[in-house]
Amino acid sequence: MMNILVCVKQVPDTDEVRIDEKKGTLIRDGVPSIINPEDKIALEEAVRLKEEHGGKVTVISMGPPQAKTALLEAYAMGADECILLSDRAFAGSDTWATSYTLAQGIKNAGEFDIIFCGRQAIDGDTAQVGPQIAENLEIPQITYVKGLEVDGKKVKAKRALEDGYSVIETKLPVLLTVIDGLNKPRYPSIKRVVAAFKKEDCIKVWSTDDFEVDMAKLGLDASPTQVYDTFVPTNEKKGEILEGNEKEKVEQLLEKLKLEQVL
């Protein structure tokens, strides 16, 4: 019997995001919201473990109310219970504040043998929240997990390295961040979707009233990092035709590429 928790984030599908070249802004019309792909892999692994060892899968997420649809999808994939931490106080959180909030939510949700996270979210791309949650909970972590064996009180994980992998063993409880290749997530069950919408309480929403948090550690005001500036890099094609003989053209190209910091 295993008590498993999965952290899930609803993100815009960044593959679909387009840039308005003239205005230098993001076009967000019609960009669907999805469960972060690596979180889906994490959830799939959790559900498989539950199917193998018995137990329960709880899913937790921090986000605005619309993140509920992501949790419904998680339920349809096999989660038993879903918790959404949602409160205006969380707005503007950087990874530090986010992981504090999630860790507090997790502590309130129960004791878990394994906590799964996707390695990183496709909107933030930081890969920080998982390890920071582990630090908050004071449990070991293994990141870049691409293979997993669970045996009683221990896990043995295949951890991806740039040029291969290492096999790491550690004791439970542990936090694991997973990457593409660990498994292929199942399609959500339509039956469970219909059931989820009928069963009101499969998703709980917690505000700051519902679990213990230090208000001084929440949201924008508590975040050590801040956004100083943002800009949308446009991809307008330069269409620059290089002049000279072949040798000169090659030299010019190399110069251009150096300036662009491309190579």
**C-beta of 212 vs 240, nearer to another protein:** 240
**C-beta of 3 vs 143, nearer to another protein:** 143
Which residue has 């972590």 as its token pair? Answer: 141
Q: Dihedral of CA 204/205/208/213: which sign?
A: positive
The residues facing 62 across adjacent strands are: 85
Dihedral of the alpha carbons of 253, 256, 260, 263, in degrees to the nearest 10? 40
Q: Do residues 179 and 38 lie in contact, with contact meaning Cβ atoms separated by under 8 Å? A: yes
**Separation between Cα atoms, residue 86 and residue 66, nearest integer Å:** 10
Whole-number minimum distance, CB 62 to another protein, in Å? 12
Backbone φ, ψ for residue 119 (5° rounding)? -60, -50
**C-beta of 72 vs 114, nearer to another protein:** 72
Element (H, E) at 147: strand 141-151
**C-beta of 57 vs 222, nearer to another protein:** 222
Whole-number minimum distance, CB 208 to another protein, in Å? 14
Whole-number minimum distance, CB 148 to another protein, in Å? 13
Q: Are strands 203-206 and 81-85 parallel, antiparallel or unpaired?
A: parallel
Whole-number minimum distance, CB 262 to another protein, in Å? 6
Whole-number minimum distance, CB 219 to another protein, in Å? 8
The residues facing 176 across adjacent strands are: 116, 142
